[in-house]
Amino acid sequence: MYGPVCVDEKFSGKGIAQKLFDFSRQTLGLKGFDFDLLFIDRQNVRSMHVHLHKLSAKLVDTFKVGEKSFVLGLFSTAP
């Protein structure tokens, strides 16, 4: 399970999320996992954009915890 990721504003846009994502995907692949799951607060528009568009995670489902809505995403560990 992947999430949450927090990057300080002064480091935003420097590829940190991409590097973390790549490291996670590579490490899990080497350990024999075919995919990883992530969750995103639906109100976190920036995170939704980064994960679903820039990092190409696939939307799997949505779920609620109390009143908060989340997106469940999936990405392959294949290179």
2 in any annotated domain: no
What is this structure's pTM? 0.70
Q: What is the pLDDT along the chain (79 residues), one digit of tens a residue?
A: 555 678 888 998 898 888 888 888 899 999 999 988 888 899 999 888 888 888 888 999 999 999 999 999 998 888 7
Instruction: Give me the CATH number covering residue 28.
Output: 3.40.630.30
3 in any annotated domain: no
* Domain, as residue range, for 20: 9-76
Instruction: Phi first, then psi: give them for residue 15, nearest 5 degrees.
Output: 85, 15
69 in any annotated domain: yes
Question: CA 11 to CA 65: how far, in whole Å?
Answer: 30
Question: CA 78 to CA 28: how far, in whole Å?
Answer: 9
